[in-house]
Amino acid sequence: MYTIVKDKSANEYALLFTDRFEDALKTSHKAWTKAQKEMGPDHIFWNGGKEVKPLNLKGMDQDTLDMGIPVIHFYKDKKVYDRAFYTSKTAQERYEIVKDVKTEDQFFKFVEDNPLT
């Protein structure tokens, strides 16, 4: 099950769904590692140019890694170009719930039939 949301700040539709916490952590770490190459001292998340170590989840409780976490996927040309966690009050205020859909294809059809201006 997916939920279509509207990002009120960016004026775009996105998909909210539940992802495994472990998968979300791995995806987030991979994106952050890639982004480090383009960051510099003026960026708040720059790590000083140090090599990014692999994500180490050893010792984490498997029940925690398997729990669901709400994640939003943003699409361009039917491919995910960005992700966000839907875990804060700010996120809940920023994203307006539009409707539930069963598949990504239903989401793409909705976006096509309901363009934002």
Q: What is the pLDDT along the chain (117 residues), one digit of tens a residue?
A: 999 999 999 999 999 999 999 999 999 999 889 888 889 999 888 888 888 899 999 999 999 999 999 999 999 999 999 999 999 999 999 999 999 999 999 999 999 999 998
How many whole angstroms separate alpha carbon 56 and alpha carbon 26?
A: 10
User: For the chain, where are the E strands, in sequence order?
Assistant: 2-7, 12-20, 68-76, 79-85, 95-101
For the chain, the 3-state helix, strand and coil shares in percent, each to the nearest 5, are 30, 30, 35
Chain CA centroid to CA 45, Å: 17
Neighbours of 27 (CB within 10 A): 14
